[in-house]
Structure 1
Amino acid sequence: MASHAHTHHEHSGKQLVEEARVALTEAGEQWTGMRAAVFEELARHDRPASAYDIADNLSAARGKRVAPNSVYRILDLFVRTNLANRIESANAYLVNTHPGCRHDCIFLICDDCGTASHFDDDKLTSSLRAAGNAAGFSEVRPVVELRGLCADCV
């Protein structure tokens, strides 16, 4: 796609869960049963999922209520530790399929089916960081979302 693309290894299935566990513990956090359940549920989705979606699905699977606030706290931890990405425009989350690799993703979100994917362009996101720094901001974190129609919906 982009000429200055960032490359990384995409994980899926059990390998993705294991990579997430390793990344979280290396960040000094515990990989608890509930955190594993939230991560695995998020990883099942190919579209951004809300904390309420995850809480409802986990409640049904466990046979007892899982509070959305608990799920939000875990998702916020996952975003901080690079296990998930927050899709700002949808107030929803996507699993990071390369948890050990920290960079800025550019998200592509289909307005019709809701599928989300990403690509990387370090030149573009570096320029955005530099522009934010030049405007007096520190710790700039580019959040780039492109909306349109995916190839399946055109």
Structure 2
Amino acid sequence: MGAHLDHHLAGDRLVDAARNALVHAGEQWTEMRADVFAALAALQKPASAYDIARNVSALRDKPVAPNSVYRILDLFVRTNLARRVESANAYVVNSHPGCRHDCIFLICDSCGQAMHLDDDVLTGALRQAAAAAGFAEVRPVVEIRGLCRECA
């Protein structure tokens, strides 16, 4: 399978897919998790746990600790509901939670927007190279920085 940008969900369809994926993974879809997911999905660029905690606090009209948000975000990453942008220590919603691929992020240095694409050929080659070097349980992290179409 080569590069693709497909079947991205939004709105209620995204929330339904996320809830189903989390429940299928044996986890509960709680109000707090739903609020964190909604806050993350509403953002147009990668956000820190602090940004998300601030938004959820405003939504709930009471303080929400960033540590609680970090735990939920870790769960979302493990269950493929969110992706972590390593270089920014930030998170983005996975707009196709039922699909598992190693993510390649394209990050705009001007506006901060991040888009991702899946290229199983490229990430597969990285996995093979790492395995040949003796690494096990490889998780490729590929982030490309530059200017997006709008900022270029």
Same fold, TM exceeding 0.5? yes
Secondary structure of the corresponding residue to residue 3 of structure 2: coil
CA contact (8 A) 2:109 2:147 kept: yes
TM-score normalised by length of structure 2: 0.97
Aligned to 1:16: 14
| Percent pairwise identity | 70
Deviation track 1:71-115 (CA, whole Å, cap 9, x = no partner) reads 000000000000000000000000000000111111000000000
Aligned to 1:137: 135
Q: Does 1:85 align with 2:55?
A: no
Aligned to 1:56: 54
2:35 and 2:80 mapped to 1: Cα distance?
17
Letter in 1 for 2:25: A
Shift of 1:24: 0.4
Q: Which residue of 35, 40, 43 maps to 1:42?
A: 40
1:96 and 1:67 mapped to 2: Cα distance?
23
Aligned to 1:33: 31
TM-score normalised by length of structure 1: 0.95
Query: What is the count of residue pairs matched by the alignment?
Result: 152
CA contact (8 A) 1:6 1:122 kept: no
CA contact (8 A) 1:8 1:101 kept: no
- Structure 1: which 5+ residue stretches go unaligned? none
Letter in 2 for 1:42: L
Shift of 1:152: 0.8
Q: Which residue of 70, 73, 91 maps to 1:72?
A: 70
